[in-house]
Structure 1
Amino acid sequence: MTEPDRAAPARVAVVYNPIKVDETRVRAAVDAAATNAGIADVLWLSTTVENEGQSQTREALDAGATLVLAAGGDGTVRAVAEALRDQDAALAIVPSGTGNLLARNIGIPLTSLDDACAIAFQGRTRAIDIGIATTTDESGASVDRAFLVMAGLGIDAAMMANARPQLKKRVGWLAYVDAGFRALPKSKKVRVGYSLDGGPTRLAHVSTILVANCGSLPGNIELIPDALVDDGMFDIAILQPKSIFGWLMIWRKVTWENRVLRKSALGQRIIRITDRAVRTELSYLRGSTVRLTVDVLEPFELDGDGVGTVTEVQLTVDPGGLKVRVPNG
């Protein structure tokens, strides 16, 4: 759902990660866009190692902000969104970092700081879904966290945990490829119990299970092409490759079939012929609530960031729970 913006925001705040962004460049681009929109006063709040943006966003809301720009990586965006959940204020993204997962799924430019800032101040406001993951660790303690793109358990979470910080800083998303090559030879199937919408629990041995709010990833990967960010549903991808050949089939599916072939009638006919073979390696489900359980502690990730190990995760959709700025048109 998209809402028209009838007036400039009463107060604007920027929550920024000083490690991820060039503060001088970001301030210049934001100030230029703010001036163009007739806004003189912008509140700047820096994240810290101890607080990734939740308390800074709440401070901005207390100061009367109706628009909060998140300038940083996916962790910063997720933290700001968590504090903006079910609030009247809107989130705007100034992309930085390695993945920019939500930005690429809602059409925010990744290579033009000026264009991203222009959308922040003069774009449309769209209500999108936000996911809530309630994780339980070995002590039985539970924590609620928001996520915007996807949650994962299995080899993808191990990749996030194994990504070397210095390499990630130098080469961005390619650091996860390096982590993947290191994790794959040692990976083993995870025995997962999963249930959808309160239904019966099913057991599966998976390499990865992903619960997605939207489906585009870096590297021209369309993991779940039918996922919509505002349909009130999760799309679940279950990866169960039996061999390296199975991984190659999945790779072909998410980089070629989902991204290219499905856009034409001929391509769709080709997919129908080949789809049966890959279906045992990669399957899709849908639901508005998902419960995952594992027998032993397993790593878990949200929007590309490892959040520790879990024994159980309950995931629910908050439909239209977040307002974001998106391009006009």
Structure 2
Amino acid sequence: MSDRLPPLTALRAFEAAARHLSFQDAAAELSVTPAALSFQIKSLETHLGAPLFHRLNRRVELTEAGQALTAPASEGFQTLAAGWRAAKRTLDSGLLTITAGPAFTAKWLAPRLFDFAQRHPEIELRFAATLKMLDFATDDIDIAIRFGPGDEGRDAGLHLALTIEEWVTPMMHPDLAAHYPTPASLTEAPIIFDDSHAFLRNSVGWEDWFRACGVAADDLHGPRFSQADHAIDAAQSGAGVVLGRVSLAESALRHGQLVAPYDVALVPRAGFRVLCPEGAQTRPGTRAFLDWLAVEVRRMDDHRAGRRMIDAGALEA
């Protein structure tokens, strides 16, 4: 039996019919007549020397040979489609698609986009704000900003363009600061909980921060938010004190809408990784965004002045 591959059009007809288990629906998807699709599948069966479908009265079923071909054919066309999209992206330096979490997109990226747009009017940015781990090939992503402890397996084949160190410290509306001059006095304050990073093993919380300050705080209560930006918004409104992430609160701190009056800050076991496919970092649009991002990240260092940065991992010792 020859291993020579059959025509691609015949394989495409088979893949659609196998997915729908209907010649009519497959023909509609491919914009051909059912007769034309049936001819392509018959030619494929002739090439194979065996039927791929059982033709019943009003439906079709896959034969054993058809079942063996279905998954590889589907995966093959998905790979081809991803490769085609990747090839097109190399030619389109004017469009850049970035994925990041909803909170980081809203609180860090969005307030800065006007500056980037002014500097690079030739680049159109698109954002996929999601906590889902999007795939560079199948989801048409150019740059991913991911939060976590790092994953060598998932990051394999990707270029680590930049890391953004995260740190947390209590943050509150300026009007509250005078009422809570010390970490110990903060045990009497209305506490806001940010549970957005609870999915991380050994995540950092209020108990860790008070322990770093040498303050006993065993019975803390307050509203809990599953989204970090919502917790920041609540603190900004004066509702209480949040153990805020500098990345998300940076704009509010810079504009005086929040203050972080204590010198103790914790560096959690997770941070941001800015990733792109290996080799893509040299493309003009990607390079422009990465260079701009690095400058903006360095500006956050202003908020570190005078603080004691404590590695959260050291608290476990």
Relative to the length of structure 2, the TM-score reads 0.25
Q: Which has the higher strand share?
A: 1
Q: Structure 1-normalised TM-score?
A: 0.24
Query: Going by fraction, where is helix more abundant, 1 or 2?
Result: 2
